[in-house]
Amino acid sequence: MRASFMQEITIRRPDDWHVHLRDGSVLREVVPFTARMFGRAIVMPNLVPPVTTTALAKAYRERIRAAIPAGVKFTPLMTCYLSDDTDPADLVQGFRDGVFTAAKLYPAHATTNSHFGVTSIKRIYPVLEAMAEAGIPLLAHGELTRSEVDIFDREKGFIDEVLVAVLARIPKLRIVLEHITTTEGADVVRAHADRMAATITPQHLLYNRNALFQGGLRPHMYCLPVLKRETHQLALRKAATSGEKTFFLGTDSAPHLRHLKEAACGCAGVFSAPVAIQAYLRVFDEENALDKFEAFASLNGPAFYGLQPHEERVTYRRRQPFSPAPVRIGNEGEIVSLFDGENVEWVAA
């Protein structure tokens, strides 16, 4: 990996196709980071209770809008949390009314706040059929959840046992495999590029599973799907920087209070919103692929979702490195950001 000598890069305003904004006081503190950096974001629905209906999504969208700083133009795109009881009529109507952009599959118990998720894919086949008919994309947290499945094999297992069956059974369904972490994830998306795409997080591009145990246990490196071995990391770096239209930016920024991560049973999730663009730029810079950054960050996502890319341009400059401060949440605690204690290059001009 060789650093290029470009000092500045101008691209269309990027979007974040996978983010967790939470609710309440956390929402108010984290929304400004995402809203200042990105023009739009796909907002994940795993609140407690989850965003399962059009009415809940509308109300949540209003709470998000209220947290956008004055003068900042940002569009939250809402998703429906699929459960065994999802009402396809409400989902389709919500999509037609412009409330929902997509629906999210959390296999039950796969990740943070997924206990209301889908217990068996077969139970939602009628919903998936309705989504295919209406043109609603399925966004999947692609991991098997059976406890006997090795945690490093859960994404591959999901592809083999669940995804392949869904692809065969519902040919018109468009699917985003969220936060891919493996070679197999990148390959399956490429093999179905006519109707699949994948988001890739900064942490899965920057690190492999060694980072979880570097000099001791590193709870802030823990997310799901968990970091994999280096061969997978390299495959993801290749995919992201290839310019292929099936791969696009989705930070999976997932804030948790510090004490809930630095705990005996710590929460999964990396909070990257304050440094997301810087993190991706580091990767593209190291790969000598800054010329492919606009495709990944600003073009491929809108193309998949049938939206226009932004006209507005943003310039990032290489600057004196800075370190991101933890984000204070009133008297509840603070949230540690990706690159905490490290230096970050590149700032918006």
Q: Which positions touch Zn ion (CB under 5 A)? A: 111, 141, 252
A 10 A CB-CB count for 89 gives 9
Give the x-and-dash track for 89-108 against ligand NCD (CB under 6 A). --------------------
119: exposed, middle or buried (C-beta count within 10 Å: 0-12, 13-18, 19+)? middle
Q: Which residues pair with 11 in a beta bridge?
A: 314
Could you give the CA distance from residue 210 to residue 224 in angstroms, rounded to a whole number?
15
269 is a site residue for ligand NCD (CB under 6 A): yes
154 binds ligand NCD (CB under 6 A): no
Minimum distance between the CB of residue 20 and Zn ion, rounded to whole angstroms?
6
Picked from Zn ion, ligand NCD, none, the partner binding residue 233 (CB below 5 to 8 A depending on kind) is none
> What residues have CB less than 8 Å from 150, skipping those under 6 apart?
none
Q: What is the DSSP letter of 78?
A: E
Q: Is 27 in the site for ligand NCD (CB under 6 A)?
A: no
Active site residue 291: no
Q: Which is nearer to ligand NCD, 159 or 314 (CB)?
A: 159
Contact (CB, 8 A) for 230 and 176: no
Q: Is 19 in the site for ligand NCD (CB under 6 A)?
A: no
Binder of residue 223, out of ligand NCD, Zn ion, none (CB less than 5 to 8 A by kind) = ligand NCD
Three-state SS string over 215-261 comes to CCCCHHHCCCCCCCCHHHHHHHHHHHCCCCCCEEECCCECCCCHHHH
When CB distances are held under 5 to 8 angstroms depending on the partner's kind, the choice from ligand NCD, Zn ion, none that residue 283 binds is none
- Does 16 participate in binding ligand NCD (rule CB under 6 A)? no
When CB distances are held under 5 to 8 angstroms depending on the partner's kind, the choice from Zn ion, ligand NCD, none that residue 269 binds is ligand NCD
> Between 46 and 65, how does the x/- string for binding to ligand NCD read (CB under 6 A)?
x-------------------
Q: How far is the CB of 269 from ligand NCD (least distance, A)?
A: 3
Q: Per rule CB under 6 A, is residue 182 in the interface with ligand NCD? A: no
Minimum distance, C-beta of residue 76 to ligand NCD, in the bound complex (Å): 16
Quick check: 203 binds ligand NCD (CB under 6 A)? no
> Cβ of residue 339: shortest distance to ligand NCD, in angstroms?
17
Nearer to Zn ion, 16 or 252 (CB): 252
Q: Which three-class secondary structure state does DSSP give residue 164? A: helix
Asked if residue 82 binds ligand NCD (CB under 6 A), the reply is no
Instruction: Find out whether 270 and 226 touch, Cβ atoms under 8 Å.
Output: no
User: Torsion over CA of 129, 42, 149 and 255, rounded to 10 degrees?
Assistant: -150
Indicate which residue of 15, 16, 252, 285 is catalytic.
Answer: 252
Contact with ligand NCD (CB under 6 A) among 170, 268, 303, 347: 268
Q: Mind spelling out the 3-state secondary structure of 53-70?
A: CHHHHHHHHHHHHHHCCC
Give the bridge partners for 335, in sequence order: 327
d(CA 284, CA 122) in angstroms, rounded, equals 40
Query: Each residue of 130-167: b (16+ CB within 10 Å) or e?
Result: bbbeeebbbbbbbbbbeeeeeebebbbbbbeebbeebb
Query: Does residue 254 belong to the site contacting ligand NCD (CB under 6 A)?
Result: yes
Q: How far does the chain reach from its first CA to its final CA, in angstroms? A: 26
Report the residue from 16, 155, 252, 287 that binds ligand NCD according to the rule CB under 6 A.
252
Identity of the residue, 219 or 243, whose beta carbon is nearer to ligand NCD in the bound complex: 219
Q: Find, among 80, 87, 96, 169, the residue nearest to 129 by Cα.
A: 169
Among 223, 276, 329, 335, binds ligand NCD (CB under 6 A): 223
Residues that bind ligand NCD (CB under 6 A): 20, 46, 111-112, 141, 223-224, 252, 254, 268-269
Residues known to be catalytic: 252
